[in-house]
Amino acid sequence: MNIIYILWLRELKRYFRSWARLIGSLGQPLLFMIAIGFGFGPVFKAAGMGDYIQFLIPGVIAMSIIFTSVFSGLQIIWDRQFGFLKEMLVAPVPRLKIMFGRCLGGATIAVFQGCIVLLLSFIVGFRFNSVWGLFAAVGYMFLTAFLFTLFGTGIASALRDAQGFQLIINFLVMPLFFLSGAIFPIDDLGSSLYAVVKINPLTYGVDALRGTLVNLNHFSLIHDFAVLVIVIIFLLFISSYSFSKIEA
């Protein structure tokens, strides 16, 4: 059986065995939807920007995806500590396939998580524009999830300490999220902040979700797609090199 399929299936089984993990991971998106969505909604509407829930939900979905996908890299460190990674690395299988299978599983889980958040968003009044837009949004969810799974895998491959991984990821992920336009419009930002937002790959994932779901994108969907694919290719090379140098 193909090693990519085996590792993909293993990641899914490991995730769905822990219902507590699944339920617990929904706490932060729900908090953002309720506290920030309804808290800043009147201010957003008074500024003539429309319904804040419609604007915010794509950003909350992206938040769920990025946290789930990046932290999937932590499993590499656990597998290294418990010896499973050594068993995989000594197998006569290219390491690229091993890494790809793990990343595919992590991205699938992150997309599933994003779809759950999307379903929960209907409770607070979110509505998407079209069914075709919904299918396109799932595709962009996968691109974003795969991108940040590669990102997490590349960092985890260079580390042995789980606590160090979590500290580094928290240090990197929070700025990526808050500087992606997930919770505020990027149309009228100052030049310096706008430049930072433009080099953030999550910006294009959020923008694509906002465009496909509610037609409020800042860039074109083709532009978002191109940037995400280019960054994925770049991270695929970097993460592959980092994973190829890993020692169990």
Structure-token match 């509407």, residue found:
45
Cα–Cα distance, 155 to 199 (Å, whole number): 19
Is residue 181 within a helix (H) or strand (E), and if so which, with residue range? none
How would you write the pLDDT of the chain (248 residues) with one tens digit per residue? 476 767 667 766 666 666 656 666 777 888 888 888 888 888 888 777 778 899 999 999 999 999 889 888 777 777 776 666 666 666 666 777 778 888 888 899 899 999 999 999 998 889 988 899 999 999 999 999 999 999 988 888 887 777 777 888 888 888 999 999 888 888 878 788 889 999 999 999 999 999 999 998 989 999 999 999 999 999 998 888 887 777 65
Could you write out the DSSP letters of every residue in 41-87? HHHHHHTT---HHHHHHHHHHHHHHHHHHHGGGHHHHHHHHHTHHHH
Burial of 52 (0-12, 13-18, 19+ CB in 10 A): buried
| First CA to last CA distance, the chain | 24
Q: Which residue has the tokens 């779901």?
A: 213
Q: How far apart are CA 22 and CA 19, in angstroms?
A: 5
Query: What's the sign of the alpha-carbon dihedral 178, 140, 5, 14?
Result: positive
**Model pLDDT, residue 144:** 96
- What is the predicted pLDDT for the residue at 119? 92
What is the b/e burial string over 210-219, where b = at least 16 CB atoms within 10 angstroms of the residue's CB? bbbbbebbbb
pLDDT at residue 137 in the model: 95
H runs (alpha helix) in 84-200: 84-89, 95-121, 131-157, 162-178, 191-198
